[in-house]
């Protein structure tokens, strides 16, 4: 029996006949807990499209339908919850508040989460410095002062008010004018001033379990990336693949040391269960800084647990399993959190350019899944996309998978499969390859002419039709040459073209959709330059380079 199964058995034994309800606004925050398979565990959340899909597979999901989305306290005080939850039942929430604690006390429910007052003290920016004590050495802290006394010293810095998480109430002061404007608005307001750390950020989901402090997997924090958010400090995703590239062993050790010391400080205050830390890496000096403590379940916990559940380990548990066992006071024994090194999630927020999403393409779930939201508030979530692959090439730069997700999020066309089978052609003339140059939502790349199969077409039919539409050329297929087949997020076949007839010109839907933000153009690329361009899919590029290796690549 694996320890992962032992974890489930320990939870079943500890709960016994008692029931446990996870009450949360957004159901994906609790999704990983469904993997526990507990008969007396229930989720209460808002009615949503994604929630309804999950509830088809699990009858322990209770969805409350109202005219608007309810927050956690509103869900707890709803008539439906009052009818379902009985006295002495256990309650678990994403983040407790004093009002939630009061509701649970009044109704005789046992709230498992640590005290909201302690969570507030640890999370809030000014009280946090006092709480950290000697550990404030890990902060890029300069001082705490009232706003009218803070002076501009010709270098940018971060200003934070007490109640402000990263991205909300966190302000980059990069000019005297910006500082003076704030001073006029809030002259006597206390603020925390921190040195601006220029470099990538990372998140570690951790927990206190009995006397132990366990650190989860380090993820790269996708922050402020356009066009996904208008807020330069908003966290819009995580990538568990990139840290092994960006961080040295020494830096990883230092991050884990910070996590351990913060956890021990929390444990001294009787904290149990999840917390998270955000770390910033100074690209110039290589030093790591503590920039955030999340005294609650961090947002990426559920998906990290889902990724961990995919990994079969002899001595492991997911972080959600460990969190629940810590809250229920199960003995920690020798459980270790499962290690992962791949996977990512990305969120599209409500922005000025994207106030809503058009109907998305249908998608065969081969590489990622998506969760739609019905939010309209600026910087609230519109869509969350999750994948088992890394999506970042480097700091602030998406890789091929990430750009595919970006295109999916920001595209819309009904009744068409986004990643349906594709057919195209390899058209060569005078040592040059005909390509379509694309600039799509800020992503620059090349593809070969072609398109998605429609109306039960055969691949050869699609290739000929698409070439005529896109380029104006009437071309036959050279059956003496083996086509290049790519099996990625979609099945793609590229045929070799016979001698073309006609004049090359951009046409079809590509010409109609051609705008500054979504640009198409036909380009003849020297075969010797294929290595230099971002030709997608990358497997096609590799295949062409291998075939054309007789040419001298510059």
- In CATH, what number is assigned to the domain containing residue 496? 3.90.79.10
Tokens of 130: 């006092």
Residues 163 and 225 in one domain: no
Q: CA 497 to CA 478: how far, in whole Å?
A: 5
Domain count, the chain: 4
Whether 404 and 379 map to the same domain: the answer is yes
191 shares its domain with 207? no
- In a domain, residue 119? The reply is no
CATH of the domain at 57: 3.40.50
Domain boundary among 409, 442, 467: 409
Instruction: Give dist(CA 197, CA 136) in Å, integer.
Output: 16
pLDDT at 356 over 60: yes
Task: Print the domain residue range for 489.
Answer: 422-547
- 322 and 365 share one domain: yes
| 3-class state of residue 554 by DSSP | coil
**How many other C-beta atoms lie within 10 A of the C-beta of residue 333?**
14
What's CA 540's distance to the chain center, in Å? Answer: 28
Backbone phi and psi for residue 543, each to the nearest 5 degrees, phi listed first:
-65, -40
Which of 522, 231, 232, 534 shows the shortest CA–CA distance to 403? 534
Site of tokens 């896109």:
470
Average pLDDT over residues 100-126: 96
Are 283 and 388 found together in one domain? yes
Give yes or no: residues 331 and 358 share one domain.
yes
pLDDT digits (tens, 9 = 90+) for 513-550: 777 767 899 999 999 999 999 999 989 999 999 998 86
CB atoms inside a 10 Å sphere around CB 440 = 16
**Could you count the other beta carbons within 10 Å of the beta carbon of residue 357?**
16
Q: Give, as one character, the DSSP assignment of residue 133.
A: G
Same domain, 396 and 277: yes
Mean pLDDT for the stretch of residues 300-326: 90
Q: State how far Cα 350 lies from the chain centre.
A: 15
> Over the stretch 414-446, which tens digit does the pLDDT of each residue have?
455 667 889 999 999 889 999 999 987 778 899
Full-model pTM: 0.84
Chain-wide mean pLDDT for the chain?
89
Reading the block at residue 33, the tokens are: 């807990």
Give the chain's radius of gyration (CA, Å): 27
Rounded CA separation 112/101 (Å): 10
């Amino acid at each position: 029996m694996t320890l992962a199964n032992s974890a489930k058995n320990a939870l079943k034994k500890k709960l016994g006949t008692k029931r446990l309800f996870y009450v949360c606004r957004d159901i994906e925050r609790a999704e990983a807990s469904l993997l526990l398979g507990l008969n007396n565990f229930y989720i209460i959340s808002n009615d949503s499209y994604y929630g309804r899909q999950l509830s088809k597979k699990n009858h322990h999901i209770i969805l409350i339908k109202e005219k608007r989305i309810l927050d956690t306290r509103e869900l707890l005080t709803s008539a439906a919850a009052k009818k379902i939850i009985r006295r002495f039942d256990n309650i678990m929430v994403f983040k407790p508040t004093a009002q939630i604690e009061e509701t649970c006390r009044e109704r005789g429910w046992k709230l498992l989460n640590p005290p909201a007052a302690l969570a507030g003290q640890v999370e809030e920016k000014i009280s946090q410095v006092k709480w950290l004590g000697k550990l404030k050495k890990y902060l890029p802290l300069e001082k705490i002062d009232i706003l009218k006394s803070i002076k501009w010293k010709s270098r940018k810095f971060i200003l934070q008010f007490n109640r402000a998480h990263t991205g909300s109430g966190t302000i980059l002061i990069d000019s005297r004018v910006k500082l003076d404007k704030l001073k006029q608005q809030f002259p006597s307001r206390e603020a925390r001033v921190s040195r601006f750390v220029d470099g990538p950020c990372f998140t570690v989901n951790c927990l206190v379990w009995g006397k132990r402090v366990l650190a989860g997997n380090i993820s790269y924090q996708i922050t402020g990336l356009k066009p996904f958010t208008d807020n330069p400090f908003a966290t819009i995703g995580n990538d568990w693949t990139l840290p092994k590239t960006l961080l040295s062993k020494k830096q990883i050790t230092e991050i884990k040391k910070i996590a351990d010391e913060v956890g021990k400080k929390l444990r001294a205050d009787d904290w149990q269960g999840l917390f998270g830390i955000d770390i910033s890496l100074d690209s110039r000096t290589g030093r790591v800084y503590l920039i955030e403590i999340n005294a609650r379940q961090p947002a990426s916990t559920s998906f990290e647990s889902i990724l961990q559940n995919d990994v079969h380990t002899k001595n492991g548990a997911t972080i959600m399993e460990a969190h629940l066992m810590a809250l229920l006071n199960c003995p920690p024994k020798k459980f270790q959190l499962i290690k992962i090194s791949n996977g990512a999630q990305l969120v599209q927020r409500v922005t000025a350019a994207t106030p809503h999403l058009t109907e998305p393409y249908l998608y065969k779930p081969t590489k990622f899944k998506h969760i739609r939201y019905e939010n309209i508030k600026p910087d609230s979530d519109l869509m969350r996309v999750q994948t088992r692959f890394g999506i970042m090439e480097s700091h602030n730069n998406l890789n091929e998978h990430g750009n595919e997700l970006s295109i999916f999020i920001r595209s819309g066309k009904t009744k068409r499969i986004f990643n349906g089978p594709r057919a195209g052609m390899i058209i060569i003339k005078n040592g040059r390859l005909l390509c379509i140059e694309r600039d799509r939502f800020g992503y620059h790349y090349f593809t070969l002419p072609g398109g998605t199969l429609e109306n039960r077409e055969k691949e050869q039919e699609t290739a000929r039709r698409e070439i005529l539409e896109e380029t104006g050329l009437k071309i036959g297929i050279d059956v003496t040459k083996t086509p290049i087949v790519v099996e990625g997020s979609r099945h793609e076949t590229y045929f070799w073209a016979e001698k073309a007839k006609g004049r090359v010109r951009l046409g079809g839907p590509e010409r109609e959709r051609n705008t500054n933000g979504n640009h198409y153009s036909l380009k003849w690329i020297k075969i010797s330059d294929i290595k230099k361009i971002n030709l997608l899919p990358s497997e096609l590029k590799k295949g062409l380079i291998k075939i054309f290796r007789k040419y001298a690549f510059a």
